[in-house]
Chains A and B, each alone.
Chain A
Amino acid sequence: MTRFLIRRIGQAILVLFAASIAVFLLFFVGPGPDQVARTFAGRLGTPQRILEIKHALHLDQPLYLQYLHWVGNLLQGNLGFDYYKGQSVNTVVGQALPATVSLVVGAAILWIAYGVFSGVVSAVRSRSLLDRGFTTAALFFYSMPTFVLGYTLIFIFAYELYRVTKFFPFSSYVPITTNPWQWFVHLILPWLTLAMVTAAAYTRLTRTSMLDVLGEDYIRTARSKGMPEQRVIRVHALRSALTPVVTLAGLDIGTALGGVIITEQVFGIPGLGWTIVQAIGQQDLPIIMGIAVLAATFVVIANVIVDILYAVLDPRVRLN
């Protein structure tokens, strides 16, 4: 178990190293230090600021020293300085992160709960009307572009029904620290949007995985012991069937935490996805780099967590 974890964490560090090299080469290597510094300064770069940047990023030193300097800062949690906004990147990211985390965590709870539930029901009542219903719904939402679903929900709930319910706000985001209830109310439609487009994969995956497991010999053994069918499904079948679902959920959540671009745009949520789109529009390089590094870190951490969950679920991983 310990060796397994050490190996996996070692691999994660390697991946992060490779990602940092890629990001570094992409942004630091250019036609000379002046040009690179000008790019970092963004559209508002004055000659004086460009000099400042050249000095701050050690652009006149050899490439490997530039990298070591940059990575050294990253390892201390310093994502750099945003010369365009005149703030540290940490501040900008720190303001955007809570919104993205709020959106992703809430939506993930919804999509996993719905996806696993509908998948299990579809598998147990395979080829029933309910199964066909869930399958059709899954395909429908899976094939629907996120922005279409988002704007449709806004149109129905926040526009047409608003006159009746006065409940769903149009868009924007309220931090949980400002007003927890308003935070919740503002996030319902974004949660639904993100959850519905993502859940389809979970419905299908859980159904397939569950059908496979229900055909296993050990399920027949559980039944032959006289266990009630409910318990056979909940205890014996579901635990095995969830293994691939855990993998998918880990990757999806890890990726989404790096920013949910379309959903954040549609609902005007100032999260990482929204921020990076703004930064790209403004050619705000430090922000783009900071979020790219952060997103890669989230994906890698999510993978390590998935590996740990594997070991918790499956003793063969734990004990070998």
Chain B
Amino acid sequence: MTDPTNPLVMTDSVSLASRLLLQVSDLRVQFATDDGVVKAVDGVSFSLERGRTLGIVGESGSGKSVTSMAIMGLHSGKNTTITGQIRLDGEDLVSASRERVRALRGAKMAMIFQDPLTSLHPYYSVGHQIMEAYRVHNKVTKQVARKRAVDMLGRVGIPNPAVRVDDYPHQFSGGMRQRAMIAMALSCDPGLLIADEPTTALDVTVQAQILDLIVDLQDEFGSAVIIITHDLGVVAEISDQILVMYAGRAVEGGPATGVFGQPGHPYAWGLLGSMPRLDIDRVDRLKPIPGTPPSLINVPSGCPFHPRCGYRDEVGGDRCATEVPLLREIAPAHVAACHLTSDQQRSTWARLSEPVSDLPETKAGSLLASSDPANEVQS
């Protein structure tokens, strides 16, 4: 069962409701610019339980970062309008005062960013910056905060933390900087950690280490994690839930097994098809999604994905260009916003995920070989 106004919020049990840490309903973020109103986030809803991980996936400009910045209350411009609800532990952040959100920021929710070099202040030592984060929310002496900083650096795997605490960011390697960012974010033991493209700027060899670290610390601290990325490999590895965003809207969402195993939206098919896979022997090229993401000032009518969608003929008529598809349950707790019928979605996905040799070359949408359960991505 899902709430019809908010299909991704499960309301089937009271105990579940009390486990919910974050509940976002009908979030809209708009920026007034000289060229018109940018609808960066346009009616997104989702929820997250304590200790679980939500992966938000989408191309650049799909609204995933704007969503996370809205949760953190980091949109400050006069030209920004935010409506809807963001409930953290039952407390609405959209209507809360700026000062209240500031007090929660860093304490109950924390964030790490894409580029750990530019995200740390070059003039202050790493330890100083962690101490600062801790002391904003805890009335403790510098000595206590310093011990906390050393402790946190040790827990994120910085060797010799009692010495490295006085180093400056430029003396750390890229992976160590991201570890230091994580130490800083977790220093106040927040219930929610938002990781915005945490591995994108790192070496491939370091990426896996950082993901492992996030998972380990999540177990240790019991935090809920939102991981924002365009890299499906990243979310597939660590997410419980997946939210696929396109043009500021949620187009598909549900358990990671469902979204990766039986995706229902052509955009999700496209994302999966443009990802290289090493577990299968394939001879054809990767299939990128044709076209570019739409302007968020003039979002296409109807389904925002229809100008790039290879399946709109199968829906029939002009429906994709005129009628906005609503999120509809296609499997238990798994929703997608597409006019294709569930049967069409299933059969198309089955065809797309057939072995390589039988793939029809006509569909421009997407290709993903092998639906062998062994290759399915498990969360």
Contact = CB atoms under 8 A, between A and B. Distances in A.
The answer to whether A and B interact is yes
Given A224-B74, A224-B106, A225-B136, A315 B121 contact: no
A313 interface: yes
Interface in B324-357: none
Contacts of A3: none
B107 A220 contact: no
B121 A221 contact: yes
A216 B132 CA distance: 18
Interface stretch (B111-119, B209-217, B294-302, B303-311): B111-119
Nearest to A220: B74
Chain B CB within 10 Å, residue with most, of A220, A221, A226, A229: A226
B120 A221 contact: yes
B343 to A, nearest CB: 45
A225 B184 contact: yes
B328 to A, nearest CB: 36
A221 B113 CA distance: 8
Interface string B153-181: 00000000000000010110000000001
A239 B113 contact: no
Contacts of A226: 102-107, 133, 136-137
Nearest to B72: A224
A314 B123 contact: yes
Interface string A207-239: 000000000111011111111110000001001
A217 B168 contact: no
B102 A228 contact: yes
A216 B103 CA distance: 22
B133 A239 contact: no
Interface of B: 72, 74, 102-107, 110-111, 113, 115, 118-123, 125, 129, 132-133, 136-137, 168, 170-171, 181, 184-185
Given A221-B121, A224-B113, A240-B121, 18 more contacts: A217-B119, A218-B120, A218-B122, A220-B74, A221-B113, A221-B120, A221-B181, A224-B74, A224-B105, A225-B133, A225-B136, A225-B184, A226-B107, A227-B132, A227-B136, A314-B122, A315-B168, A316-B168
5 A-B pairs closest in CB distance: A226-B106, A226-B105, A217-B118, A225-B133, A225-B106
B113 A220 contact: yes
A6 interface: no
A217 B103 CA distance: 20
Contacts of B129: 221
A164 interface: no
A206 B246 CA distance: 40
Chain B CB within 10 Å, residue with most, of A220, A224, A227, A314: A224
A303 B156 CA distance: 43
B82 to A, nearest CB: 16
A313 B102 contact: no
Contacts of A315: 122-123, 125, 168, 170
Nearest to B181: A221
Contact of A218 (B103, B118, B170): B118
A314 B168 CA distance: 10
A313 B123 contact: yes
A319 interface: yes
A222 B122 CA distance: 12
Nearest to B170: A316
A128 to B, nearest CB: 10
B132 to A, nearest CB: 7
Nearest to A216: B118
A221 B105 CA distance: 11
A228 B133 CA distance: 11
Nearest to A222: B121
Nearest to B168: A315
Chain B CB within 10 Å, residue with most, of A216, A222, A314: A222
A223 B132 CA distance: 12
Nearest to B105: A226
A146 B72 CA distance: 50
Contacts of A314: 122-123
A316 B125 CA distance: 11
A239 B123 contact: yes
Contacts of A224: 72, 74, 105-106, 110-111, 113, 185
B106 A218 contact: no
A214 to B, nearest CB: 10
B120 to A, nearest CB: 6
A224 B193 CA distance: 11
B303 to A, nearest CB: 33
B103 A223 contact: no
A319 B115 contact: no
16 contacts: A218-B119, A223-B105, A224-B105, A224-B106, A224-B185, A225-B105, A225-B132, A225-B133, A225-B184, A226-B104, A226-B136, A228-B102, A240-B122, A315-B123, A316-B170, A319-B170
B221 to A, nearest CB: 17
Interface in A261-320: 313-316, 319
Nearest to B107: A226
Contacts of A236: 121
Nearest to A314: B123
Contacts of A229: 102
Contacts of A228: 102, 136
A314 B122 CA distance: 8
A162 to B, nearest CB: 47
Contacts of B106: 224-227
A319 B113 CA distance: 26
Contacts of A218: 118-122
A224 B68 CA distance: 11
A184 B25 CA distance: 65
Nearest to B106: A226
B180 to A, nearest CB: 11
A229 B102 CA distance: 9
B318 to A, nearest CB: 43
A223 B184 contact: no
Contacts of A239: 123
A210 B185 CA distance: 26
Given A226-B103, A227-B136, A316-B168, A221 B123 contact: no
A229 B74 CA distance: 11
Contacts of B171: 319
A217 B115 contact: yes
A240 B123 contact: yes
A281 to B, nearest CB: 50
A245 B315 CA distance: 63
